[in-house]
Structure 1
Amino acid sequence: MTRSHASLGWVPWAFVGLWSTGFIGAKLGLPYIGPFTFLALRMALTLACFFALMRVYALPWPGLAVARRQWLSGLLVHGVYLGGVFAAIKAEVPAGLTALIVGLQPLLTALLSRFAFGEALATRQWLGMAVGFAGTLLVVAGTRGLDFHAGPGLAWTVFALAGITVGTLYQKRYAAGVDLIAGTFHQYLATLLFTGALAWWLERDHPVVWAPELWVAMIWSVLALSVAAILLLMRMIREGEVARVVSYFYLVPGLTALEAWLLFGERLSAPALAGMAVAALGVALVLRAPRPAGGV
């Protein structure tokens, strides 16, 4: 491992730790606000943060052609994915089923990246993807249980899976060659327009209860997730193989289960703990392949 590469070794682990806390926003915030209203407000506050960063670092504005690619990437990775997950939670789709469907993302992305970028995985990497999903299955079964009675709200979960998968591939191919802060600003601009339109259409008559829990959820979601975690993810996508990057998502359900146990006293069983170990083994198998120079 090169020195420059070693210096970036913290990036995926910091991302996983932050991304796993996305559950906090949904758990704390959604009882008091509609999902798209929450996301629209979150995007507006995030845009203010990125605008300030661009002014501080005197970053140039991307041209229209570059901005358009960022708009589409943001619409998929942030708008479709987050909107789908939050709407599924609000529609009372079983949390375990949502986690399982979204948990297919690393495997699906790896399969599609073979055709999009010619990233051929070694046999042990495909095995790692399968083992990682098996670990996710164990974590979900050992915490939230497997309830497949989702009703029409299931479509939101599939919508989210499609968004994060296609958005990751599009970001890698078409939207990676731009400053991270400036590019992400434009991604959130498109996301704000998307979630704002849905909030007005579907939730304009829904009252917002400004409870302390909602403020905590909003502030954490903006600073930890929409700013810090997303900048880390965009860097990983830009500098690493897609399959290698998305394999880290298999570690998220286990960390989320630990956080739910610590913060809310949710169930954490022996199968869930075993699932965390299995998921970690799967990620290790994926990451064992030789890394491309400069990659994550």
Structure 2
Amino acid sequence: MSINFKVLQEKDATTLGLAAMPGVFVLLWSTGFIGAKFGLPYAEPFTFLFIRFVLTLMLLIPLTWLMRISWPSSPRLWKHIAISGLLVHGTYLGGVFYGIYLGMPAGLAALLVGLQPLLTAACAGPLLGERLTKQQWLGLMLGLLGISLVLGSKLELGSTLFSGFGAGALISVMAALLGISLGTLYQKRYCTSMPLLSGAVIQYMAAGGLLGIGALLFESREVTWSTTFMLTLGWLVLILSIAAILLLMALIKKGEASRVASLFYLVPPVTALQAWWLFDERLPLLGLAGMVIAIAGVVMVVRPSTT
């Protein structure tokens, strides 16, 4: 009996590629915080994000038509998608970028907004009527303990990771956390039939409008078009706003979306590692322990109970 080694090799490569896709998605997602750190010296946060969304839409709208992606079927769904975009992209990215612009380290910003599953689970009860299991309650407590250790260790030790920013940066990132949490709940309740790619176009349009208004009202809108800024902008547009969404579409189509969700807790440590390597951002030992505890809490919340 002959064996077609070429077919076997292609099958193995396909299987390996599918297995790697969730990890690649998380790795790409984590670079968004690093991109903010690289680009913000050259443009204010709302201006930076507005340019990013305009360029993204210039590429994404033709791509949606070329792929013949369907659009939402009713004006009511368009409205709900736009509102979710204001929360998930406008408030979330605006808060993260503004917090980093005010001096918050990228690794710490990633950890704070990485608590989104905890806040979402806590709000799901009163807003969606969902009940938390004992495992999820324990996860919530661990998450709060972990982030308290991270923040407390910086304040006590005067670490350079916590210095250089004040209450404004913390409030901005906490607003981002609230935005992504409420946006996730809103989208779950009102946008379940949203086409992923065309829905992203509507969300980007709404978020871009909000951030454009913010740039007009609160910023000078001056941009230093350096090589670093243009490369960073290109990465955020092509890799984060387009490639990552297409990768997510492929994962959902192949039934791998749950693996992406379970791997999202790796974003904070991956971002912290990148920030340490690129910007020498450091966590004290107690802060590292707090990060591990917080991530363990997120895992307990997002994973189904075994009881």
TM-score, normalised via structure 2 length: 0.76
In structure 2, do the counterparts of structure 1 residues 102 and 146 end up closer, same or farther at CA, with 3 Å as the change threshold?
same
In structure 2, do the counterparts of structure 1 residues 123 and 288 end up closer, same or farther at CA, with 3 Å as the change threshold?
same
Pairing partner for 2:86 from 62, 75, 78: 75
Q: Is the 8 A contact 2:197 2:245 kept in 1?
A: no
Q: Is the 8 A contact 1:26 1:86 kept in 2?
A: yes
Aligned to 1:51: 61
Measure, in 2, the Cα distance between the counterparts of 1:196 and 1:15.
Answer: 28
| TM-aligned CA deviation for residue 207 of structure 1 | 2.3
In structure 2, do the counterparts of structure 1 residues 287 and 160 end up closer, same or farther at CA, with 3 Å as the change threshold?
closer
Higher-Rg member (1/2)? 2
More displaced 10-residue stretch of structure 1: 213-222 or 10-19: 10-19
Q: Compute the RMSD of aligned alpha carbons.
A: 3.6
More displaced 10-residue stretch of structure 1: 255-264 or 166-175: 255-264
Pairing partner for 1:174 from 190, 194, 206: 190
**Partner-residue secondary structure (3-state), 2:225:** coil
Amino acid at match of 2:175: F
| TM-aligned CA deviation for residue 94 of structure 1 | 6.5
Any idea what the Cα deviations from partners look like across 1:224-268, whole Å, max 9, x if unmatched? 3222445667988xx9999x9877554322111111122233325
In structure 2, do the counterparts of structure 1 residues 240 and 176 end up closer, same or farther at CA, with 3 Å as the change threshold?
farther
Pairing partner for 2:42 from 32, 42, 52: 32
Pairing partner for 2:128 from 107, 117, 128: 117
More displaced 10-residue stretch of structure 1: 48-57 or 162-171: 48-57
1:18 equivalent in alignment to 2:37? no
Measure, in 2, the Cα distance between the counterparts of 1:102 and 1:283.
Answer: 11
TM-score, normalised via structure 1 length: 0.78
**Partner-residue secondary structure (3-state), 2:40:** helix
Q: What aligned pairs does 1:1-296 form with structure 2 within 5 A after superposition? A: 13-62=23-72, 63-92=74-103, 98=109, 101-136=112-147, 141=153, 145-146=161-162, 150-203=166-219, 205-230=220-245, 249-267=264-282, 270-271=285-286, 273-275=288-290, 277-289=292-304
Q: Is the 8 A contact 1:103 1:133 kept in 2?
A: no
Q: Is the 8 A contact 2:89 2:204 kept in 1?
A: yes
Q: Structure 2: which 5+ residue stretches go unaligned? A: 1-16
| TM-aligned CA deviation for residue 200 of structure 1 | 2.0
Measure, in 2, the Cα distance between the counterparts of 1:290 and 1:258.
Answer: 30
Measure, in 1, the Cα distance between the counterparts of 2:88 and 2:37.
Answer: 21
Aligned residues: 281
Measure, in 1, the Cα distance between the counterparts of 2:241 and 2:193.
Answer: 20
Report sequence identity in percent. Answer: 47
Aligned to 1:294: none
| TM-aligned CA deviation for residue 40 of structure 1 | 0.4
Q: Structure 1: which 5+ residue stretches go unaligned? A: 1-6, 292-296
Any idea what the Cα deviations from partners look like across 1:62-96, whole Å, max 9, x if unmatched? 23222111111111110111112212222335767
Amino acid at match of 1:22: G
